[in-house]
Amino acid sequence: MERMKKLIRSKRGQNTVEYLMMLAVIVGVILVVGKMFKPQISNIFNQIMGMVSGAAQGVASPN
């Protein structure tokens, strides 16, 4: 318990807490943005899969 008190009082402890708070904010922003753009991201992946599939079929069947 005494070790926690020292960690909280020290500058090193403050820096750790600040970094953890920044990390939490960044993760939160990424989650919100991901949720907002989920349909668009899904469509992009489907388009890429279609292109790869088309290219693979083109290579498999010679002209």
Domain extents in the chain: 2-56
Cβ atoms 35, 41 nearer than 8 A: no
The whole model's pTM is what? Answer: 0.49
Per-residue pLDDT at 42: 86
Per-residue pLDDT at 25: 96
The end-to-end CA distance of the chain, in Å, is 75
The C-alpha atoms of residue 42 and residue 15 are separated, in whole angstroms, by 38
Per-residue pLDDT at 17: 85
The C-alpha atoms of residue 56 and residue 48 are separated, in whole angstroms, by 12
Q: Which residues of the chain have pLDDT under 70?
A: 4, 7-13, 60-63
